[in-house]
Amino acid sequence: MVNKNFNLLLLVIIMLIFLTVVLLSVGYTIALFQKSSGNDRWLKGKSLPTPRTEVMAVSLDDLVYVIGGFTNEGRITNTVEVYNTTNNFWYTALIPLPIPLHHASASTHDGRIYVVGGHKGDWNPSNRLFIYDPKIDNWTTEPSMPTARGSTVSYFVGDILFVIGGDMYDHSFFSVEAFDTFNGTWTSLSPMPTTRHGLGVVNVDNTIYVIVGGLHPGLIVTGRNEVYLVD
């Protein structure tokens, strides 16, 4: 009887030790994950189903949309794939961009994605504006911007989409054109002082800062920082 009770007690102790180890291990893993998430380090996410370069990428509602670009075979694509940042999963069954494009510009506004400009086959510049509505998985074609160009940048200030700079074939642009999302019209604005493509742009308090870029197609670059004051 004593041996039976002792064996039962020993079994309970072993189970308690095992349970304690499991709980401590889980707690350590969670703590390590929480600590790691705050460190200055890179983590590996799930790879894009379709490897590409020169894409457009924007974020919207915890999702990252990757649009167009070149494939491994050098083919221009209109593929659209979406990465869910909460579960590390890619969605691929989305309606493609109306035409294949690379070196286009993409931005978001009011829950939709605006893709403008870019290059088509043989590096022909595009002036097309496409808008994607993720709620219904559909692209619409809006009025084309006045100047066809690729390697441009686009940025929203309020309800106005500004498209700045860019290039075609053997020269860069200083063009600045704005699309009014309310009335669907384009307006040509004061050009940049310096022609540039592949530039960076940010908006701070309704002031657009246009930074660096290529003066001509190729690697003739500049450190220019030019500022546009939005009315």
Q: Residue 106 CB: number of other CB atoms within 10 A? A: 23
Q: What is the pTM of this model?
A: 0.81
Among candidate residues 101, 26, 112, 31, the one with its CA nearest the CA of residue 71? 101
Among candidate residues 172, 148, 162, the one with its CA nearest the CA of residue 210? 162
The answer on pLDDT for 4 being more than 70 is no
The answer on pLDDT for 8 being more than 90 is no
CA distance 4 to 50: 64
* Position 106 in a domain: yes
Among candidate residues 75, 166, 72, the one with its CA nearest the CA of residue 116? 166
* Position 76 in a domain: yes
* Position 43 in a domain: no
Please give the structure tokens belonging to residue 173. 């642009």
* Position 46 in a domain: no
pLDDT grade, residue 13 (50/70/90)? very low
The full DSSP string for 159-182 is TEEEEE--EETTEEB--EEEEETT
* Pair 69, 86: CB distance under 8 Å: no
Residues 72 and 176 in one domain: yes
CA distance 92 to 46: 13
Contacts of residue 99, Cβ cutoff 8 Å, sequence gap at least 6? 78, 120, 126, 128
For 3, the domain range is 1-38
Which pLDDT score, from 0 to 100, does residue 34 have? 30
| C-alpha distances out from residue 147 to 12, 72, 110, 154, 206, Å | 79, 30, 25, 13, 24
- Report pLDDT digits (tens) over 127-158: 999 999 999 999 999 999 999 999 999 999 99
Is 122 buried (19+), middle (13-18) or exposed (0-12) by CB count in 10 A? exposed
Residues 142 and 191 in one domain: yes
HSE-CB of 226 using CA atoms within 13 angstroms: 17
Which pLDDT score, from 0 to 100, does residue 37 have? 54
- Across the range 170-188, mean pLDDT stands at 96
Residues 31 and 143 in one domain: no
Residues 115 and 190 in one domain: yes
Residues 33 and 70 in one domain: no
- Report pLDDT digits (tens) over 32-71: 223 345 567 888 899 999 999 999 999 999 999 999 999 9
- Report pLDDT digits (tens) over 180-199: 999 999 999 999 999 999 99
* Position 47 in a domain: no
